[in-house]
Amino acid sequence: MYGEGRAVCVGRDMDTDRIIAGRYLRTKDRSLWAAHVFEDLDPTLANRLKGTVVIAGSNMGCGSSREQAAIALKEAGVVAVIAPTFARIFFRNAINIGLPLVECPLSCREGAWVRFNLEEGWAEVDGQRCTARPLSPKMLEILRAGGLVPYWRNRR
Amino acid sequence: MATLSERILGGLAGTYVDVRVDRAFAHDGTGVLAKEAWCNMGCEKVRDPGRTYIFFDHIAPANNSTTATLQAELRAFARERRLNFSEIGEGICHQLLAEGIVLPGEVVVGADSHTCTLGAFGAFATGVGATDMAAIWASGETWFRVPETIAIRLTGSLTGAAEPKDLALAYVRDLGMDGANYHALEFIGAGAAGIPMAGRLTCSNMAVEAGAKAGLFYADRETVGYLAGFGIQAAPHVPEDCTYSKELDIDLTDLQPLIASGHRVDRVQEVAGMAGMPVDQVFIGTCTNGRLPDLERLARVLRGKKVRVRTIVVPASRRTLAEATRTGIVETLLAAGCIVGVPGCGPCLGAHMGVLGEGEVCLSTANRNFTNRMGVGGEILLSSVATAGASALRGEITVPEAADVR
């Protein structure tokens, strides 16, 4: 799975409360989560995420199990998230909703063009390439299906 | 020769396993999305309704009609599918599962990050998101990468006013917020054996704050005795030699009351370092510190005195509240000026019943102090029950004395 987009840089230990605040969770309206993603970090960010690759510091998505954090990013148009490490629940959630993750350290420059390939396990920005920790075959299958819901439906 | 996680999951660290889930649960916060994913999967039935639980604890009672409507849908789903359902006011999922449901050696999966709490029983208990939960409802199974394990080797015993919460803050400080990412923690050594069940639940609860997948104690005499109180016969674990990826030694005797600040759970210092800082609200409760021994301890600190700031106490379960009422704890807390709330998560996640205003500071016995979590512009400090009680009396951060809690 190949992808590319403009880089948006966020810091390390980016907790799920900052990705989508608890006050927006009580709804099934996914566009609301997209509209308020990263609001407490930078209220202007939500509108600038379409077609971007978010490059985060270590421990991306730590904190609660709220799947809305991964959904909000995907709904806002984020193509993939790259970080040296992810918090494990966020990691599973992202795969399960079909948001590609690349686990490798990449220094981020805002607006730079980022390319990645999940099967080959790399990401690249400004000519600098990092080798990703490989996804398990099952995770790749789920991502290829577009998430666990379609994966499950196809299997039946 | 295997770690407890390897034994329970039936695989070596680093391998992927499919496991049957013994207890699967979601709550009013995550259940709505799980139900939606389950419906979208085109499922016809929940594989194992008797092992599936829905708890209403996160915004319970509902804060507005949108929440109430979502809850009504989930309640109807739970009844229609004959799932174990826990109504508003019964208490926090992790506490109710600790009241005679979860057993040593089980695989427990919850759509809540603090599911690791149940590791206190020697179960492999971990949190997942809503879609993973939906797949478990459908299949009764899930997959895991068997984690490597970090041992937290405990020696000595707690002294002075220090309590298991201070141990939890100490290991999160030592490991850092991602120091145990993808790992399990095991609490071992003579010091671990000396911690009662309520304190073990507090320690396991905060494993995820260091990034851990689970935080386990071996089931021992304490565990067996606690479960016997619920009429359950359980066998203790027989520890084996095993390989840990890392060991952290903590001497409980040296622990002082600690406090986390700066919107990071791992930014921990001795309470003495922040003494005198004014607080606007004190909150005692949650899946970390809302149990009967916590409320007993609070009552000892507050007996015959008056709090100077609004002090919200939320028992972890109906059983906790009933027992605290029967033993006079609630009367002591009310006389001291506390507010006693509906059993559940209370204001921990900033949804209701104690949201902070701009610039306000709350000293909380919860497990998370992320930016704006309890209200935009508010700050959360995390401490033990004794520190919270002593600080409520002065209206400022106060070091609890051993004499306060005896």
CB atoms within 10 A of CB A115: 14
Taking the C-alpha atoms of residue B282 and residue B264, their distance in angstroms, rounded to an integer, is: 18
Q: Which of A17, A85, A136 sits opposite B178 (nearest CB)?
A: A85
Whether chain A has a CB inside 8 Å of the CB on B17: the answer is no
**Secondary structure E strands in B91-148:** 107-110, 124-127, 141-145
C-beta of residue B354 within 8 angstroms of C-beta of residue B347: yes
Closest chain A CA to residue B207: A63
CA distance A60 to B178: 9
* Predicted confidence (pLDDT) at residue A156 exceeds the cutoff of 90: no
Are A148 and B131 a contacting pair at CB < 8 A? Answer: yes
* Chain B residues inside the 8 Å CB shell of A15: 370-371
> Residues spanned by CATH 3.30.499.10 within chain B?
4-145, 260-405
Q: Which helix (H) or strand (E) holds B403?
A: helix B402-405
The reply to whether A52 touches chain B by the CB within 8 Å rule is no
Inter-chain CB pairs, A–B, below 8 Å: 123
Enumerate the residues of chain A whose CB falls inside 8 A of the CB of residue B140: none
Output the six-digit token pair for B353: 């019943």
Q: How far apart are CA B260 and CA B177, in angstroms?
A: 12
**Beta carbons of B370 and A89 less than 8 Å apart:** no
CATH architecture of residue range(s) B260-405: 2-Layer Sandwich (3.30)
Contact B258, B270 (CB under 8 A): yes
**Cβ-contact B59, B92 below 8 angstroms:** no
Sign of CA dihedral B23, B24, B26, B30: positive
Q: ipTM of this model?
A: 0.96
The CA radius of gyration of chain B, in Å to the nearest whole number, is: 20
Helix H or strand E encompassing B226: helix B221-228
Sheet holding B379-383, edge to edge: B268-270, B258-260, B379-383, B361-364, B281-285, B310-314, B339-340
Which of A15, A67, A138 is closest, CB to CB, to B131?
A: A67
Q: Which regions of B59-213 does DSSP assign to beta strands (E)?
A: 84-86, 107-110, 124-127, 141-145, 149-155, 184-188
CA distance B198 to chain A (A): 22
Q: Give the whole-angstrom CA distance, residue B11 versus residue A58.
A: 28
Rounded to whole angstroms, the Cα distance separating A66 from A86 reads 14
User: Is the CB of residue A98 less than 8 Å away from at least one CB of chain B?
Assistant: no
Q: Check CB contact of A28 with chain B, cutoff 8 Å.
A: yes
Q: Select the residue from B370, B371, B376, B379 to test the A interface by mutation, using most A Cβ atoms within 10 A.
A: B370
A26 and B350 within 8 Å at the Cβ level: the answer is no
Q: Judge: B371–A17 Cβ closer than 8 Å, yes or no.
A: yes
Whether A93 contacts chain B with CB within 8 A: yes
> Would you place residue A133 in the very low, low, confident or very high pLDDT band (cuts 50, 70, 90)?
confident
Residue from B33, B56, B225, B40 nearest B133 by CA: B33
Which tokens go with B201? 């639940």
Instruction: Please report, as a single letter, which amino acid is at residue B278.
Output: P
User: E strand or H helix at B130, and its extent?
Assistant: helix B130-139
What is the pLDDT at residue B264? 97
Of A21, A65, A68, the CB nearest to B372: A21
CA nearest to B115, candidates B216, B244, B9, B11 = B216
Is A87 touching B (CB cutoff 8 A)? yes
CB–CB of B178 and A13 under 8 A?
A: yes
The topology (CATH level 3) of B4-145 is Aconitase; domain 3 (3.30.499)
Contact B111 A153 (CB under 8 A): no
Q: Please tell me which of the candidates A67, A149, A156 has its beta carbon nearest to residue B129.
A: A67
Residue B125: phi and psi, rounded to 5, are -120, 125
CB-based contact B96:B55 (threshold 8 Å): yes
Take residue B41 and report the two structure tokens written for it: 């999967």
Contact B37, B134 (CB under 8 A): yes
Of chain A, the percentage scoring pLDDT greater than 70 comes to 99
Q: Which two tokens stand for residue B206?
A: 């905060």
d(CA B374, CA B357): 9
Block residue for tokens 């990691």: A91
Query: Is residue A74 within 8 angstroms of chain B, CB to CB?
Result: no
Mutation target vs A (from B63, B131, B144; most A CBs, 10 A cutoff): B131
Half-sphere exposure of B59 (CA within 13 A, CB side): 27
In B229-328, which ranges are continuous DSSP H helix?
Answer: 286-289, 292-302, 318-326
**Residue reference for tokens 């000519």:** A127
> Nearest residue on chain A to B15, judged by CA atoms?
A136
Which residues on chain B are in Cβ contact (under 8 Å) with A64? 112-113, 349, 368
Asked if the peptide bond before residue B293 counts as cis, ω within 30 degrees of 0, the response is no
- Nearest partner of B271 among B156, B372, B373, B386, judged by Cα: B386
Q: Which helix (H) or strand (E) holds B371?
A: none
| Token output for A102 | 């690349």
Does A18 contact B at CB distance below 8 Å?
yes
Per-residue pLDDT, B78: 98
Distance CA A44, CA B67 (A): 27
A60/chain B closest Cα distance in angstroms: 9
Q: What is the pLDDT of residues A136-154, one digit of tens each?
A: 999 999 999 999 999 999 8
Residue of B130, B395, B383 whose CA lies nearest to B273: B383
CB B185 within 8 A of CB B210: yes
Name which of B113, B131, B132 is nearest A64 (Cβ-Cβ): B113
DSSP letter assigned to residue B235: P
Residue intervals in chain B for CATH 3.40.1060.10: 150-254
Cα B250 to Cα A151: distance, rounded to the nearest angstrom: 45
- Per-position pLDDT tens, chain B of length 406: 799 999 999 999 999 999 999 999 999 999 999 999 999 999 889 999 999 999 999 999 999 999 999 999 999 999 999 999 999 999 999 999 999 999 999 999 999 999 999 999 999 999 999 999 999 999 999 999 999 999 999 999 999 999 999 999 999 999 999 999 999 999 999 999 999 999 999 999 999 999 999 999 999 999 999 999 999 999 999 988 899 999 999 999 999 999 999 999 999 999 999 999 999 999 999 999 999 999 999 999 999 999 999 999 999 999 999 999 999 999 999 999 999 999 999 999 999 999 999 999 999 999 999 999 999 999 999 999 999 999 999 999 999 999 888 7
Q: Kindly state whether B129 is in contact with chain A, defined as any CB-CB distance less than 8 angstroms.
A: yes
Which residue segments constitute the domains of chain A, with CATH numbers given? Answer: 2-155 (3.20.19.10)
Minimum Cα–Cα distance from B112: chain A residue: A65
In 3D space, the residue among B279, B285, B296 whose CA is nearest the CA of residue B353 turns out to be: B285
Q: Write out chain B residues lying below 8 Å of A32, CB-based.
A: none
Q: Does the domain at residues B150-254 carry the CATH identifier 3.40.50.720?
A: no
The residue written with tokens 């594989």 in the block is B47
DSSP label at A31? Answer: H
A70 and chain B: CB distance < 8 Å anywhere? yes
pLDDT score, position B190 = 97
A79 Cα to chain B: minimum distance (Å): 20
B356-389 in b/e burial notation, b at 16+ Cβ within 10 A?
A: beeebbbbbbbbbbbbbbbbbebbbbbbbbbbbb
Beta-strand pair B361-364/B379-383: parallel
Three-state SS for A36-67 is HCCCCCCCCCHHHCCCEEEECCCCECECCCCC
- Asked if B200 and B296 count as a contact pair (C-beta separation under 8 A), the reply is no
